[in-house]
Amino acid sequence: MSQVTTAPAQHATTDEFNPFLSMARNFNTAADHLGLDEGLREVLRRPDRELTVAIPIVMDSGKLQVFTGYRVQHNFSRGPCKGGIRYAPDVNLDEVRALAAWMTWKCAVVDVPFGGGKGGVICDPRKLSQGELERITRRYTAGIMDILGPDRDVPAPDVNTNEQTMAWLMDTYSMHVRRTTTAVVTGKPIALGGSRGRREATGRGVMISCREALKKLGLRPENSRVVVQGAGNVGGIGAELLHREGYKIVSISDMYGAIANDKGLDIPAVMVHLKKTGKLAGFPGARELSGAEALELPCEVLVPAATENQITSKNADRIKARLVVEGANGPTTAPADAILEKKGVLVVPDILANAGGVTVSYFEWVQDRMGYFWTEERVNTSLEQIMVKSFQDVDAVMQKYKVSMRIAAYILSIDRVASVYKLRGVFA
């Protein structure tokens, strides 16, 4: 059973940890700078469509269990909706709404022709077998497929989903439409129409953003200590690429805790250990501390690359980094942002710093539609050009409006989406 609704109006509250309200707050600040009229604000702030689906699954035990899934399409003025699907116990509609809106702004910051969407299923993948995960993915896909398609909405991996999840999604969609439709999803295995370089793209974008920001601060990689939160697709690969560029990674964490070494961690060896044991803990030669403590370690660069609401009004004052590069979506709350700004910490916002993933997702979608596949070198060179140009575009807005980098990124992207919306006009 599924239900399509338009989004309810949002009520203002001071809840620091509601990511949709955080997004709306930054949106309003940027819209004020642009002098955007109230009607257009209302259109652009609200998600266009929200779908909630029940996902009944026969578990391995033979018991029937019903999961809940969401897909939110925030805005498709600039093209099909684009955005990941996450599996986690704490997925909720406000989170998915915020993530969908961030995708709209992110796609506009890097100027790829997509709108924003996001999906999620409330489940704990650690407690599910591969068979159960496959059945959830297939039934969830069947539930939302009326609003999916290469020209409508193109999902991708996010927290706790991966290439295999995308392969199941692509197959389920293709079986329903009676033809193999690779462009319905990105982040697929290369053998199924995935793009070379997609797996590393978000981490690579983080590394490029970090390099550009360091130049602004007059710092050099070899003199920069980095703390990374998260050791998955973004944090793990980001840490490996930063390590390769000569940064000293002094700490990295996962959901179980952090490891640290002031002399720098051997990140490739850490990743081998993580793959083998499933945890960072126990890595030889590193001390162990909590994830929260790791955020406050002395360093030049902090890369939160795990989840939302990690730098908050409670710990922002104790953050020692000079630069925060947001690999995760929404890791810094709005009150924390204000504290960091006062301390003179430069924050490269999520909608710029982690846009490498959606950029290469765009390349993947283009390749699938062309039926012609690029070399990894071409992917990485094109990604590099887009990330550097986007960084410079945001930097120029930052100088022009004398605002934080986050508000500059919102100004740039809202302006791009609003001008397309005005050109298209209001369908009635």
Binding status of residue 304 toward ligand NAD by CB under 6 A: no
- Selected binder of ligand NAD within 95, 158, 337, 393 (CB under 6 A): 158
Kindly report the backbone phi and psi dihedral angles of residue 174, in degrees, each rounded to the nearest multiple of 5, phi listed first: -65, -40
Binding status of residue 349 toward ligand NAD by CB under 6 A: no
Choose between 31 and 362: whose C-beta lies nearer to ligand NAD: 362
Catalytic residue list: 118
Binding status of residue 80 toward ligand NAD by CB under 6 A: no
Binding status of residue 253 toward ligand NAD by CB under 6 A: yes
Q: How many residues interact with ligand NAD (rule CB under 6 A)?
A: 24
Q: Please answer whether residues 75 and 97 qualify as being in contact, where contact means their C-beta atoms are separated by less than 8 angstroms.
A: no
Q: Segment near ligand NAD (CB under 6 A), from 15-23, 59-67, 249-257, 312-320?
A: 249-257
- Selected binder of ligand NAD within 19, 157, 193, 221 (CB under 6 A): 157
For residue 257, the minimal CB distance to ligand NAD (Å) is 8
Strand partners, 258: 253, 289
Binding status of residue 209 toward ligand NAD by CB under 6 A: no
Binding status of residue 357 toward ligand NAD by CB under 6 A: yes
Q: Segment near ligand NAD (CB under 6 A), from 39-47, 225-233, 259-267, 382-390?
A: 225-233
Pick from 185, 179, 172, 30: nearest CA to 101 = 30
DSSP state of 187: S
Which residues within the stretch 97-156 sit at the binding site for ligand NAD (CB under 6 A)? none
CA distance 47 to 222: 43
CA distance 255 to 278: 11
Q: Segment near ligand NAD (CB under 6 A), from 63-71, 145-153, 157-165, 406-414?
A: 157-165
Q: Give the E-state strand segments of 182-311 in sequence order.
A: 225-229, 248-254, 257-260, 287-289, 301-304
Phi-psi region of 193 (alpha: psi -120 to 50; beta: other; left: phi over 0): left
Binding status of residue 254 toward ligand NAD by CB under 6 A: yes
- Cα–Cα distances in angstroms (integers) from residue 180 to residues 140, 154, 176, 215, in the given order: 19, 15, 10, 45
Choose between 192 and 292: whose C-beta lies nearer to ligand NAD: 292
SS3 state at 293: helix
